[in-house]
Amino acid sequence: MHRKPVLLITGARGQLGRCLQMLAPQYPDWAFLPTSSDTLNVTDRRAVRRFIAENRPDWCINCAAYTAVDRAESERSEAWRVNALGPRYLAEVCREQGIPLIHFSTDYVYHGHHNQPLSEDSATRPRSTYARTKLAGDRAVLRCHPEGGMVIRTSWLYSPYGHNFAHTIWRLGRERPELRVVFDQIGTPTFAPHLAQAVLHIIALVEQQRSFPSALAGIWHYSNEGVCSWYDFAQTIADLKQLPCYIRPIRTSEYPTAAARPPFSVLDKAKIKAAFSLEIPHWRRGVEQWAMQTEG
């Protein structure tokens, strides 16, 4: 009997991990193997080696990440372990076993005052602990698995699950008469189900070719299409959810945070669209779908 390809998903309780699992019924010829920190601790090298040896996955999709951007400034060692060491250990073992690794990163590794979309070759200038640890993880994947390590940098991720900006605006917008949201940080929201679908589309293309996916290696960008500010994002959520609060646009200087955010982080997706024939939805479509999938 033909063995189904096994897709190992780390960090499966997070936003992206849950979205990947929700799509599993669309791929009945694959076996999805979701794990969380209690079943696979990616920061434990021996545990990673043992788990992969026992389960023999054909793909590893690393959704495990420390994403508390501000808290990372006071929990640096934990952010480093999850965001830098975890990807390194996965990359080392996946390279040894000939398993392609798909790892996710962030637009926060870029920090400049430019106004042109960022390509995969753009200079990185991380300004926070979170961004620095994520960049270290990117570099570890590329260094330790140069022929099969795929790093996908995305931006402003949200979904119907867990804690994210969209849910925060929705909750606070029902509790408060006014919300203050920055208008001078520009980027693109990414609806996690869209990213999950793109990842599975890419894997399907490689599986059809039945060859080791060396073409995956390197850095790639994926976000929804279009451009907006956090204020625009919040206002769209308020409109779709018919929130009674007023969204007040403010400057970043009026809303200090522990960790610095990039003022402009619009990602150029030309590379990933051309390589894998992807059609990426506009960010507003993602927000509309999120609004329909969340109650209230």
Catalytic machinery residues: 130
- At 185, the amino acid letter reads Q
What radius of gyration, in Å, describes the C-alpha atoms of the chain? 19
The H or E element that residue 104 is part of is strand 101-106
Asked if residue 161 lies in contact with residue 18, where contact means CB atoms within 8 angstroms, the answer is yes
Q: State the DSSP code for 263.
A: S
Asked if residue 121 lies in contact with residue 33, where contact means CB atoms within 8 angstroms, the answer is no
Q: β-pairing, 6-10 with 59-62?
A: parallel
Q: How many CB atoms lie within 10 A of CB 144?
A: 19
222-261 b/e (C-beta count within 10 Å ≥ 16 → b): bbbbbebbbbbbbbbbbebbebebebebeeeeeeeeebbb
Asked if residue 140 lies in contact with residue 87, where contact means CB atoms within 8 angstroms, the answer is yes
- Judged by DSSP in three states, 295 sits in coil
In the chain, what's the furthest Cα-to-Cα distance? 63
146-162 b/e (C-beta count within 10 Å ≥ 16 → b): eebbbbbbbbbbbbbbb
